[in-house]
Amino acid sequence: MGGFTLKPPKQFLFTDLRHIETGDLEWLAPDGQKLPVAGPPEPAVEARAALGMTPYGIRLVAQRCQKEGPLEQGSPDNVIYDQGAYRAWYLRVRYPEGKDLGSYSVVAPDALIIVYAESNDGYAWDYREMGHVEIAGMTGIDGGTFFIDPKGPANERYKCVFNARLLEDDPLCPELWKRYLEMHPAHRDDRLGGPHDIDCLWGMVSPDGLHWEMIKETLLINKGDTDNTVYYDDFLDKYVLYTRLYWLRRRMVARAESDDFRHWSPIQPVIWPNLFEPVTNDIYTNARTCYAGLPEHHLMFPMFYKRYTQTSECRMFSSIDGLCWNEVPGGAVYTPGGTGWNGVFGSLRKNLIPLGNDRVALGFGEGPHPHKYPRWQHVLRGGQSGYAVWPKGRLCALTADREGAFYTFPIDVTGRELRINADIHRAGELRVGLADPAGKPIEGRTVDECHPMFGDSSAHVVAWHGDANTRQEPGAKVRVHFKLRAAKLFGFEWV
């Protein structure tokens, strides 16, 4: 199946269970014939159970990142890998001297500056100010995010979303507050306090990423501070936003969508602290991304904020549609601190990028003080940044500690050979077979005829009787049958 994608994929990752056939027990007569659950033939016999395509012995485990850095020059937030270059934009807000309290500022800024950064390798960056954007009547600018829109008109190829609070005397306040009160309470944020304390999400567009223009109308009435993510979902044919929501004094991740980037649905919570969490934990940021080149693999690396110590950790969530999310088992994939690091509070940034040497990475930043520690200037300057790095395709592992096996759902053949990304203990093994959509093994390509694989490689070659050709025509549907022992399976690919 491959998840929600518009074309048959060549690469398959195990970031969730979308590829794994659930199977069920099959009941067999003594002669091996299958017995139906309804109207089995008489007389009754002592039926026995067979596994059929039911998986066993496997579990999904999120893989912890390796931290690279600290980076001497640092790295910008939300890096985008585009046409062989690393690019980033961010907002620099200039407030009057002595009035700069960041997102807590209460006066209008002197300037809103767009800064553009570019790099050939993700490490050495060239920063340039791209000019000022005229704004009026707002303050507390925060949560800026940029993305490249593959769908929009040429004059809006680049887009930005940011949060700002209206000044209390702005003439828009009464009308926006009236509209806000017309919303169902399920879509409101407890932090908006009245017509003189109202936050909105605003947008900007650009034809080239260099010259920017404000959209005059607000996009959403919501306090989307700290972390917003917007992207165009090709499968849904919609723009999707992940932002902040604050209920019962708990932070959570919410979602909205739009057909035209101007008019947005009400926000809906999608990830919030579950009942197994300590009661003082929040979900602070979303860090939504997809796997590079595989937009159907929706991923989040939300930061869990621990109020009891004002520290943090990031975990991995996955989704097949961007609506329903699950935490990937395995615990935190990133924590601040460690050898060479001074952090106690930090978070992963969005946009998973290739980083050379067959690796993928997310940027991160962390600081040496608890999150709400008083922010004197020396405190604000005390942070470090780096990259959270994984080997290519190895964000999650389908792990068999002992023996395990499973079938995929029927998938389209899009190549002549199969390559397996796996780390297999020398005392273990991995075998691969092919079956038709009904689960019948394909002669000459069964799991028992496969050469056993072992060792650590991102491209184990699958072969049967010395032949790596699957002998399946492109466009045919097959099930891939895996048997593994003492192994971690990360994914597979047609070549």
DSSP string over 256-317: EEESSSSSBPPPEEEE---TTS-TTEEEEE--EEEETTEEEEEEE-PEEEETTTTEEEE--E
Please say whether the beta carbons of 3 and 17 come within 8 A.
no
End-to-end CA distance of the chain: 18
Q: Does residue 261 sit within a domain?
A: yes
Same-domain check for residues 333 and 413? no
Same-domain check for residues 189 and 310? yes
User: For 64-86, what is the mean pLDDT?
Assistant: 92
Residues near 32 by Cβ (< 8 Å), separated by ≥ 6?
Answer: none
On the question of pLDDT at 1 being above 50, the answer is no
Q: Does residue 15 sit within a domain?
A: yes
User: For 447-468, what is the mean pLDDT?
Assistant: 98
Q: Does residue 142 sit within a domain?
A: yes
Same-domain check for residues 401 and 367? no
Same-domain check for residues 449 and 385? no
- Last residue within a domain, chosen from 358, 391, 424: 391
Q: What is the pLDDT of residue 292?
A: 87
- Last residue within a domain, chosen from 366, 391, 416: 391
Same-domain check for residues 436 and 372? no
Please say whether the beta carbons of 301 and 362 come within 8 A.
yes
Residues 104-120 pLDDT 10s = 999 999 999 999 999 99
Same-domain check for residues 206 and 261? yes
Q: What is the pLDDT of residue 365?
A: 95
Quickly state the pLDDT bin for 3 (edges 50, 70, 90). low
Q: What is the pLDDT of residue 136?
A: 84
Provide the CA 325 distance to its chain's centre, in angstroms. Answer: 10
Q: Does residue 282 sit within a domain?
A: yes
- 131 or 319, which is more confident? 319
User: For 361-386, what is the mean pLDDT?
Assistant: 93
Q: What is the pLDDT of residue 143?
A: 95
On the question of pLDDT at 354 being above 60, the answer is yes
On the question of pLDDT at 75 being above 60, the answer is yes
Q: Does residue 444 sit within a domain?
A: yes
Mean pLDDT is lowest, of 43-47, 128-132, 256-260, 365-369, for 128-132
On the question of pLDDT at 420 being above 80, the answer is yes
Mean pLDDT is lowest, of 101-105, 131-135, 294-298, for 131-135
Q: What is the pLDDT of residue 381?
A: 86
- Last residue within a domain, chosen from 334, 362, 391: 391
On the question of pLDDT at 299 being above 80, the answer is yes
- Report, in angstroms and rounded to the nearest whole number, the Rg of the chain calculated over CA atoms: 26
Domain that holds residue 367: 69-391
Q: Does residue 225 sit within a domain?
A: yes
Q: What is the pLDDT of residue 2?
A: 45
Only one residue has tokens 């405190």, namely 379
Strand order in the sheet with 126-133: 80-82, 85-94, 111-119, 126-133
Same-domain check for residues 387 and 470? no
Same-domain check for residues 105 and 189? yes
CATH number for the domain harbouring residue 472: 2.60.120
Same-domain check for residues 135 and 254? yes
CATH number for the domain harbouring residue 227: 2.115.10.20
Q: Which token pair is 142?
A: 């925060």
Q: Does residue 328 sit within a domain?
A: yes
| DSSP-derived 3-state class of residue 283 | strand
Q: Does residue 26 sit within a domain?
A: no
Same-domain check for residues 82 and 109? yes
Instruction: Count structural domains, the chain.
Output: 2
Same-domain check for residues 380 and 462? no
Q: What is the pLDDT of residue 58?
A: 98
User: For 184-195, what is the mean pLDDT?
Assistant: 90
Chain-wide mean pLDDT for the chain?
95
Q: What percent of the chain has pLDDT over 90?
A: 89
Same-domain check for residues 85 and 182? yes
- 73 or 202, which is more confident? 202
